[in-house]
Amino acid sequence: MNILLAQQNYHIGNFESNTEKILQAIAEAKAQHADLIVFGELSICGYPPRDFLEFKDFVDRSYACIEQIKQAATDIAVLVGGPARNPEIQGKNLFNAAFFLYEGEIKAEIHKTLLPTYDIFDEDRYFEPAHEWKVVEFKGKKLAITICEDIWNLGDNPLYTECPMDVLTKQNPDVMINLSASPFDYNHATNRKAIVKANVKKYGIPMFYCNTVGSQTEVIFDGASLIFDKAGNVIKEFPSFVEVLDGAILKDNNSVEGNIQIPAIQVADKENVLEKLEPTLNIAAIYDALVLGIRDYFQKMKFKQAIIGSSGGIDSAVTIALACEALGPENVRAVLMPSPYSTSHSVDDAVRLSENLNNPYDIIHIDKIYESFLSELQPIFEDRPFSVAEENIQSRTRGNLLMAIANKLGYILLNTSNKSELSTGYGTLYGDMAGGLGVLGDCYKLQVYALARYINRNEEIIPENIITKAPSAELRPNQKDSDSLPDYEVLDQILFQYIEKRNGPNDIKALGYDPALVDRTLKMVNTNEYKRNQFCPIIRISPKAYGVGRRVPIVGKYLS
């Protein structure tokens, strides 16, 4: 049986585009004499559709697309994902389903059993779990079809009380097929490969694993679809961050024949890699994910050009470089806005960066605007000493200028704040926290430096002085980030332990960190939730990003 996997980039709610893409892949699969083509989870409507699922019209349109697609499923079988209505009055109104189409009909409807409701996932809000589990018989083979999370319930501490494959394996299936929308983080591809291998080892049959690719606002899907034989060998591993149509032959003895085979020893076992978090690793993958996140956000929203405040610092430099790669340098406008406290080398560094990248830039001095603010506010400020209020006026002036240009000329403002700053509240609401998309908001400061080195891997694009000089907001004389924050080498580790690892203060102190510094850092994180709650969407590259994947109370007293 010739099985092809369609690793595709879908657009949520764009039924026409998604269906056209699916039909084109079916036509190509027919030309390759495929018996079965597999698409990703909720491929018809795009993942995650969230509250769109509450609209009857949205579900109606999905069903209309199935009617269209099944007309192409004549001499080829098609497995495609979409919402399915629950005919029972009890329970949720919808299932997360895979439709098995063949001979112009819906031959089977498979429902997702395990509905993740953690981090970015909220499927129990919309879907009813599967009530029954049956293999699908096709051309003499029994297919055990599952959807994404259904294969992840392995290990010593399973999240769910049931596992659909435990039921399906009693029906003697010949192959496992999984339709997924499994998001990217810097370690997830390793974990994903390990979990697929763990299923193959447990059930003793091959697996064809089809994952989605592309960006949906803040969530990145990397693809990296997999085909394993029954011995635990990787027969094919699809490339990440690109669309691919490829597959393998399932033989009569359930062996799998492909043109690439990787020994199983190269795939670590699940227990050795799952939940191992290394934020400074996989910088190349993080880079590719951020570029895809920017590019897809603009393309799917039909935006053309970006504007970015260019300070001569590391964060804006990396953001500009990423945007130029994603959109083309001609579509990225940098605006340099020196204040009375900006150093000349910062301006020079920012100019040199844009010259290296060949992107347009402007220089707008904000001295007069800043002084006019101070003059108008003097009767209220009186003779009180210089404080954060004057610093924030400069930042908000820059935000105002950037948004004015964006509104007038049709740009989208890309925000440059990093995760270390957002965590500690080191930013100005409606100033340097303004923007339509947060590019680096899930990257700690040390990751930003690693990205800069990666960007410069072949030639100097980001000037070396930007990378090596002490970071500063330059909002007061001789200011350094270290005046307000711990050194990033220590701060980032404490933040990582608290945010990603969810370790409490005593656990972090036990690792050897200064107790007073731990308490101070965690207090900064929790008391600044009100700022992050007003922040723009952040491209997610970690297992625990700010935004929909991290939900804590604004007015909570815990550790604050």
In 10 A of CB 83, how many CB atoms? 22
Which H/E stretch holds residue 438? strand 437-438
Catalytic residue among 21, 41, 45, 128: 41
User: Residue 56 CB: number of other CB atoms within 10 A?
Assistant: 10
Of 111, 124, 185, the closest CA to residue 150 belongs to 111
Q: What angle do the packed helices 445-455 and 488-499 form, to 10 degrees?
A: 110
Q: Is 464 annotated as a binding residue?
A: no
Determine if residue 255 is labeled as part of a ligand binding site.
no
Query: Any idea how long the chain is?
Result: 560
Q: Is 310 annotated as a binding residue?
A: yes
The annotation status of 342 as a binding-site residue, yes or no, is no
Beta-bridge partners for 98: 81, 110
Question: Is 148 annotated as catalytic?
Answer: yes
Q: What secondary structure, in 3-state letters, does 356-421 show?
A: HHCCCEEECCCHHHHHHHHHHHHHHHCCCCCCHHHHHHHHHHHHHHHHHHHHHHCEEEEECCCHHH
Q: Is 82 annotated as a binding residue?
A: no
| 461 annotated as ligand-binding | no
Spatial separation of the C-alpha atoms in residues 116 and 7, rounded to whole Å? 22
> Would the annotation count 311 as a binding residue?
yes
484 labeled binding residue = no
Task: Tell whether residue 312 is among the known ligand binding residues.
Answer: yes
Give the N- to C-terminal CA distance of the chain in Å, as an integer. 60
Is position 372 annotated in a ligand binding site? no
The sheet with strand 141-147 has its strands ordered as: 136-138, 141-147, 175-180, 207-211, 226-228, 234-237
Q: Give me the catalytic one of 21, 112, 197, 544.
A: 112
Closest Cα to residue 421, out of 402, 399, 446, 397? 446
List 45, 148, 324, 536, catalytic entry: 148
> Is 112 an annotated catalytic residue?
yes
Residue with tokens 């399973």: 158
Active site residue 210: no
105-111 and 411-415 strand pairing: unpaired
Extract the annotated binding site. Answer: 118, 182, 309-316, 392, 416, 421, 531
Extract the annotated binding site for L-glutamine. Answer: 118, 182
Catalytic residues: 41, 112, 148
Extract the annotated binding site for ATP. Answer: 309-316, 416
